[in-house]
Structure 1
């Protein structure tokens, strides 16, 4: 065994000598200097080093980085492609990038880079792709980027870029894709962009852009996708000229504070997706017939009046017609669904809630494929309409849930599928029944698709992908998909080798990855631009070096390498024994830790025991694109199990001093507590020196996410239900768990929201069991413990005395209630939320600090909720209510709520829509609006509604 290890070490280290001796005569000296500067700026958090290896950074082994070079007439290799593949590198971008004058591709997607974008990049004349999405870059966009006349794709989305969009971008004469969504860009959209005549996809959504919408954009002859959602073009109108964008496929202007009328888009032949929701648009909906390709029309949350155009009854591919929260009237046209023949996979949602519809044309009997919402219309009180009650309640026909393609291999389970290798599986659609192969796994996202339901489009999508990869249809299997905010469609699929091979060969793996990574997919505007999120090389592919160079070295260099290898091998043999001893020692430590883990695992019942391999597959080998959170314990990943269950996987950081204790605590607690308002533990992984906890996945994230978000909000009734659910979960821990449990770390980021916005309390890593009975049979009222928790949420009494009680959790939950009401952080800029709210309350100015994103709310309900929150945050524990009293008071407040608002909250929760409603439209129709709160209203007991300032 030692001889084998020695041989492996000699071979590996000899290879390093190959690389080192090939340095001097490859990449040009100036580019070597520039590359070294780039390397010095990058940090690998795993190894915590800034510089990898020695010698020529492009021809030596540069971990986590692909550096391609090509020959030129001057005898040197010149770098033409630079990619970061580790997905977790931090550091900054070096200005020396500008010295790599032959670069065509800079691909630094999905890392953790910070700092600004160097203006020197603008001097790289051949640059075609500048891909910086998914980092933490800040600062403004350099004007110099406008000098890149060959630039085809500029992606800076999901960073922290601020400032204006440079007018110089009008000079990008080859640009097709400008993806700048999810940043903090401000100012106006430059009208000069209309000079970029090749532009196809313009994604500026989720920024702080203002001003007017440039009518000049209608002069872009190739524009297919225009997505500007969640900006603030306050008072601006949609230019009529946008109806002349003849090649447009998708127009999305959601939540942009737009006014005026809806333009006529009937002349756009290929328009498939139109979203103008959550604006202040007025007037009727244009009656001219839209394109037959229309899948989605969303005009909800405006002030539109008139009737639904008859032309909407002649749209054969329509998937969603969303007109809720307007002032539309007349009859509901049943022809919208009666004039269509539905395929098995086709779906149609028609949402007409909260309008003024009083009648219906025809019989109310939509097919099973149709989901119809009529709640909040006068028609719902018409008892003469048969079955009307079925469409006026709060039950949802359902959004599209994560699904998977059907699997035809169920009958193969009695056979073996190369069980000696866990990464082989049956090919679901193979022409040969029960054929077994090892797939390539791909994480993939459609950034701006022009449809709302994927299942009807799944077959065309499969043909699109396999055609682009030059593969057969049976080689592709879509494992799962789910919609993300945007809306964007994320999916995981597998690519299988042909039926006469069990694995792909190396060249085929690199060919397939190259097509994805080089953006060589043929354009398909209906599916929109895509992102490759992960391409893990697992199982038989784990040894493939994805950083294989695209160049070959001269014979003379190979001779030098060979001679150098012999010399290195002799030198290395001297130190091989030391390395083996060190490796053996490390192996013993690992085995010891595994034995300990195995002992621990055997003691835990009631939850699933996952293997490390199952966790790796579920998360695309823990790819950073699947990470959804991080805390002191470790990282949290979104994973998909083999049965397509979506889960959250909390992975302990290596070397965590308290990880072992918290790991045991959380499993022991969660394995025996079960309540609808507590996050459920599905299982754990305790092998390979790893500790992971697997929970049910909460698709709507944390309460803190929603309170902090700029583009989404929660109405008051929903916030009240979240507060009640959280309190019920804590009450269960205090009174029904045996023995009782003190949570000790209640905070907004530990309250998760499921698909129906049901609150679930999470993270029991710091929880403590209540004390056992004393000798006299009494229960002590506290636990003495080292103070732990989160600043801003800590009970002052607990902090001073170290005595943890149930009232400590009451205090923390009270702080959460104050966050729910104000949107403030517990501690911000030196201000404490409890002190600030108390001061405002004493001055009679409490409504001035209520979260202005909450919309309209009943003032008496808010006042009672606020009073409860302040009682929970009292300095003295004995003056705080018990958790049972908290639950009862919240239930009383909820019963006081106007029925219309609680119904809206429930229906929005069931449908999965954003729980927001434009304040202006809500107030206009609200029976309890403050503008309608006359003296007689107050005397009669009506609760006035206040719109926050």
Structure 2
């Protein structure tokens, strides 16, 4: 054995290397149990969670489970994200979700989950994104969700949630996005919500809300979108204080049973979209000029009187002016369209039907880009106005549904792409008819601030590719269509960057792009508004890249620990080598008596003799990408054994080979080193002229 001094040296080095060698950790047992209970409460007809009973959640790549790349203070790994979007899951949400105390993203979007939202989720103080939209959840919103002080985004829209909005939500100090539209939420909107100083988007449309509109909302310092359509605030007036929401981009109060007058919103310089239609508003339309950014003004289906303001003639970005079904009188100002500049994508719809307009002010000769509807006005009976009939007939009385599009593929050889049916020509490739395999993405703008998309298609492409760190030619908007809301649904295709040798995304790039979408890690766009990721479809060879492979999933923190462990192992080995040589004569007779020249692994507890083939498989044939260190003795590789154990493997180089006796002596000495701060020797290999441990 080593002398006391030798053992002391090894112990000192071992203690110094403690922080590097403690890498073989597992997921917190309480979180493993919580995930098992979550799986038990779900119905998984497509077997997406079939690997949730195999191995360790953080080390075996359980579907949708992402862990921190660092070890917690308790010595365990912890779950950071639970991403289970669009997996056809049903069943219910388990209360044990509240035991995932380190969770930052909880995503169950677009499934068929029923039952109520567990109040225990309020225990996850680290939670930043709570995404439950697009399910069949019912019951009321738990008061306990108000404890989530780090929550940035709360999406429970498109469910069947009822009951009131908890006043405790006023404590969500970090909340920027509150989306609860398309439910059955009832009662008064709590005025306490005005305390949410960071709130940007408040979407409560299509519920059963009643009472009054809180005037305190005017105190929101950063609110950009306020959308309350299709609720019942009967007898309520629009608070005059809303005129001071200086950063508001979109105000939509459609079909809310509102009364009173239209407030003067000319002071809101960022306002782009105003919808106050289908209410009982009275009086005249304010005369002051609205923001130059206005794209949409919808005041239809009210009881408004007076004339059309001349200020509407000086709105350069206007796309839609809807004033139909009111009591407006006077003339139609032709300079609304004559003052505008049009290009091939610009459109303007003026719907003035069913008023009391009697004349035209200017030349009634709008360009093709303008749709003008005058039916139901006295002006249509004036035969002295040239061409008046074409603006008054039934063919001009459509509903004004905005455009949709489906882009066709460029003209290229029919069978020019690889036989894989999912390869396509890249529409905007720098080289014509270049083939690649795209990522297919369902995407929806939940509250855009425009009525027609074509003029903003290119700015949107620039915005999205910039957010994803892609080149502009890598994005193709395959199709888009307006849906009820109005919301804009798109089908996107993302292509690899042009390279004749690379026609597919690699796994890390797929995961990076998907992560940007699912973490909402985009710079905000007030104009395009909040978005929904509907699906992220992986076809062809991409279908095998849903989760990271074991070797690819080694985190940077653990990899750094392996590198440190490898360096430390080299240091310990060097010391052991010197001490072994120094004490060789002393131990020779004893070692001979124990016959250490034969295979000793079977005689040493906890040490296994591996074949060289096993070592090669564990390190991908000692691939350079798995090398984590190098010393005078040889190289150190990270490896994954057949039982998924992660190890550091040291392979001696030709000039550093010891005699078999010395090598086996060192193996025995290493096997005897035991300390709580040291990772034990797992095994060795000495066949085919190799010395590996």
Shorter-chain TM-score: which interval?
0.7 to 0.9
Aligned to 2:446: 447
Aligned pairs (5 A) from 1:560-579: 562=641, 564=643
Task: Report the 3-state secondary structure (helix = DSSP H, G, I; strand = E; otherwise coil) of the residue aligned with 1:513.
Answer: helix
Aligned to 1:900: none
Deviation of residue 493 (structure 1)?
1.3
Deviation of residue 269 (structure 1)?
0.5
Aligned to 1:760: none
Deviation of residue 509 (structure 1)?
1.1
> Matched residues in 2 for 1:484 and 1:87: separation?
23
> Matched residues in 1 for 2:462 and 2:169: separation?
35
On the 8 A contact 1:219/1:245 being kept in 2, the answer is yes
Task: Report the 3-state secondary structure (helix = DSSP H, G, I; strand = E; otherwise coil) of the residue aligned with 2:432.
Answer: coil
Relative distance call for 1:336 and 1:49 in structure 2 (3 A) is closer
Aligned to 2:569: none
How many residue pairs get matched? 540
Match of 1:403 among 405, 420, 426: 405
Relative distance call for 1:550 and 1:360 in structure 2 (3 A) is farther
Aligned pairs (5 A) from 1:592-611: none
In the alignment, does 2:393 pair up with 1:393? Answer: yes
Aligned pairs (5 A) from 1:794-943: none
In the alignment, does 2:93 pair up with 1:93? Answer: yes
Aligned to 1:42: 42
Aligned pairs (5 A) from 1:104-503: 104-396=104-396, 399-405=401-407, 409-410=410-411, 412-413=412-413, 416-500=415-499, 501-503=502-504
In the alignment, does 2:538 pair up with 1:537? Answer: yes
Task: Report the 3-state secondary structure (helix = DSSP H, G, I; strand = E; otherwise coil) of the residue aligned with 1:345.
Answer: coil
Task: Report the 3-state secondary structure (helix = DSSP H, G, I; strand = E; otherwise coil) of the residue aligned with 2:53.
Answer: coil
Task: Report the 3-state secondary structure (helix = DSSP H, G, I; strand = E; otherwise coil) of the residue aligned with 1:511.
Answer: helix
CA offsets per residue over residues 80-135 of structure 1, 9 Å max, x none? 11111453101111111111111111011111111111111111111100000001
Q: Which runs of 5+ in 1 are unaligned?
A: 1-22, 567-949
CA offsets per residue over residues 671-707 of structure 1, 9 Å max, x none? xxxxxxxxxxxxxxxxxxxxxxxxxxxxxxxxxxxxx
> Matched residues in 2 for 1:493 and 1:428: separation?
12
Aligned to 1:647: none
On the 8 A contact 1:39/1:50 being kept in 2, the answer is no
Aligned to 1:684: none
CA offsets per residue over residues 808-830 of structure 1, 9 Å max, x none? xxxxxxxxxxxxxxxxxxxxxxx
Task: Report the 3-state secondary structure (helix = DSSP H, G, I; strand = E; otherwise coil) of the residue aligned with 1:535.
Answer: strand
Task: Provide the alpha-carbon RMSD of the alignment.
Answer: 2.2
On the 8 A contact 1:294/1:317 being kept in 2, the answer is yes
Bigger proportion of residues as helix: 1
Task: Report the 3-state secondary structure (helix = DSSP H, G, I; strand = E; otherwise coil) of the residue aligned with 2:289.
Answer: coil
Task: Report the 3-state secondary structure (helix = DSSP H, G, I; strand = E; otherwise coil) of the residue aligned with 2:193.
Answer: helix
Deviation of residue 291 (structure 1)?
0.4
CA offsets per residue over residues 727-771 of structure 1, 9 Å max, x none? xxxxxxxxxxxxxxxxxxxxxxxxxxxxxxxxxxxxxxxxxxxxx
Task: Report the 3-state secondary structure (helix = DSSP H, G, I; strand = E; otherwise coil) of the residue aligned with 2:379.
Answer: helix
Relative distance call for 1:550 and 1:161 in structure 2 (3 A) is farther
> Matched residues in 2 for 1:159 and 1:400: separation?
27
Normalised to the residue count of structure 2, the TM-score between the two structures is 0.75
Structure number, greater radius of gyration: 2
On the 8 A contact 2:403/2:452 being kept in 1, the answer is no
Aligned to 2:507: 506
Aligned pairs (5 A) from 1:58-77: 58-60=58-60, 62-63=62-63, 65-70=64-69, 71-77=71-77
> Matched residues in 2 for 1:279 and 1:494: separation?
40
Task: Report the 3-state secondary structure (helix = DSSP H, G, I; strand = E; otherwise coil) of the residue aligned with 1:251.
Answer: strand
> Matched residues in 1 for 2:113 and 2:83: separation?
13
Relative distance call for 1:73 and 1:173 in structure 2 (3 A) is same
Relative distance call for 1:40 and 1:406 in structure 2 (3 A) is closer
Relative distance call for 1:121 and 1:49 in structure 2 (3 A) is closer
Deviation of residue 58 (structure 1)?
4.3
> Matched residues in 2 for 1:36 and 1:561: separation?
25
Task: Report the 3-state secondary structure (helix = DSSP H, G, I; strand = E; otherwise coil) of the residue aligned with 2:470.
Answer: coil
Q: Which has the higher contact order (CA 8 A, sep 6+)?
A: 2
On the 8 A contact 1:66/1:85 being kept in 2, the answer is no
> Matched residues in 2 for 1:47 and 1:357: separation?
63
Relative distance call for 1:550 and 1:450 in structure 2 (3 A) is farther
Relative distance call for 1:550 and 1:523 in structure 2 (3 A) is farther
Deviation of residue 464 (structure 1)?
0.2
Deviation of residue 562 (structure 1)?
1.8
Relative distance call for 1:39 and 1:141 in structure 2 (3 A) is same
> Matched residues in 1 for 2:469 and 2:640: separation?
38
Aligned pairs (5 A) from 1:656-667: none
> Matched residues in 1 for 2:149 and 2:226: separation?
22
Aligned to 1:30: 30
> Matched residues in 1 for 2:275 and 2:259: separation?
14
On the 8 A contact 1:69/1:550 being kept in 2, the answer is no
> Matched residues in 2 for 1:98 and 1:157: separation?
21
Task: Report the 3-state secondary structure (helix = DSSP H, G, I; strand = E; otherwise coil) of the residue aligned with 2:473.
Answer: helix
On the 8 A contact 2:331/2:359 being kept in 1, the answer is yes
Relative distance call for 1:187 and 1:270 in structure 2 (3 A) is same
Relative distance call for 1:97 and 1:460 in structure 2 (3 A) is same
> Matched residues in 1 for 2:643 and 2:200: separation?
52
